[in-house]
Structure 1
Amino acid sequence: MPMEQLLVQSLDELTTQIDTACQKGRRVYLYFSGSTDLTTGDSWSPECCQCEGVLEQAMKGTKEEDLFLMVEIGDQNEWNDANNKYRTHPLYQVKQLPTLLSLSF
Structure 2
Amino acid sequence: MAHYQMVSVSEQHNGKAIFTYFTGSKDARGKSWCPNCVQAEPVVGEGLKHVSEGCVFIYCHVTDKPYWKDPNNDFRKNLKVTAVPTLLKYETNECLQANLVEMLFSED
Q: Please report the RMSD computed on the Cα atoms of aligned residues, expressed in angstroms.
A: 1.5
**Cα distance in structure 2, aligned partners of 1:73 and 1:20:** 22
**Cα distance in structure 1, aligned partners of 2:90 and 2:33:** 26
TM-superposed deviation, 1:36: 1.9
Structure 2 unmatched ranges of 5 or more: 93-108
The TM-score normalised by the length of structure 2 is 0.75
The TM-score normalised by the length of structure 1 is 0.77
**Cα distance in structure 2, aligned partners of 1:29 and 1:41:** 22
Structure exhibiting the larger radius of gyration computed from Cα positions: 2
Instruction: Give the % identical residues.
Output: 31
Please tell me whether the aligned partners of residues 26 and 104 of structure 1 are also in contact (alpha carbons under 8 angstroms).
yes
**Cα distance in structure 2, aligned partners of 1:78 and 1:101:** 21
Please tell me whether the aligned partners of residues 14 and 71 of structure 1 are also in contact (alpha carbons under 8 angstroms).
no
Aligned residue pairs, count:
91
Alignment partner of 1:96: what SS?
coil
Partner of 1:93: 80
Please tell me whether the aligned partners of residues 30 and 68 of structure 1 are also in contact (alpha carbons under 8 angstroms).
yes
Q: Kindly indicate which of the two structures has a greater share of residues assigned to helix.
A: 2
